[in-house]
Amino acid sequence: MHALGAACRASLDSADVTSDAYESLEKREPETSIREINISGTDDNVVDAYNFCAEKFVEQLLTEGSNITCDGTSESFNGNKDLPPYYDEIMFKKGQAFFHKHIFGLFLSKLLGLLALLSLPSLRILMMTRKSSTPMTAYKRYMGTIFHMCVWYDSDFQPGSKLWKSIANVRNMHNAASKRSNLCFKTRITQMDMALTQFGFMGLGLIRSKMLGIHYATDDEWKGFLHLWRVIGYLVGTEDRFNLCRESVQETQEICELLARKVFIPRMAKTGPDFDLMSSALIDGMRAMNPVLHQEGFLRYLHMVLRNNPDPEITDEQLKPLSKIARARLNLILNVTWALQYTIVRVLLKYCQIWTLWLMRVCPFLAYSRFGFENSHVRI
pLDDT tens digits, one per residue of 192-212: 999 999 999 999 999 999 999
pLDDT score at 325:
93
DSSP-assigned beta bridge partners for residue 190: 69
pLDDT score at 27:
39
Buried/exposed code over 349-376 (b: 16+ C-beta within 10 A; e: otherwise) = bbeebeebbeebeeebebbeebbeeeeb
The CA-based dihedral angle spanning residues 219, 224, 229, 235, taken in that order and rounded to the nearest 10 degrees: 150
Per-residue pLDDT tens digits for 268-289: 988 888 899 999 999 999 999 9
For the chain, what are the domain ranges? 2-67, 75-376
Q: How far apart are alpha carbons 4 and 254 in whole angstroms?
A: 15
Q: Residue range 300-328: average pLDDT?
A: 86
φ, ψ of residue 68 in degrees (nearest 5) = -115, 125
Please tell me the least confidently modeled range out of 33-47, 112-126, 159-173, 233-247.
Answer: 33-47
Which candidate, 352, 301, 323, places its Cα nearest to that of 104?
352
pLDDT above 60 for 228? yes
Q: Residue range 214-225: average pLDDT?
A: 97
pLDDT score at 12:
44
pLDDT above 90 for 47? no
Q: How far apart are alpha carbons 17 and 62 in whole angstroms?
A: 8
DSSP string, 237-264: T--GGG-S--S-HHHHHHHHHHHIIIII
Q: How far apart are alpha carbons 73 and 59 in whole angstroms?
A: 24
Per-residue pLDDT tens digits for 120-134: 987 666 565 566 789
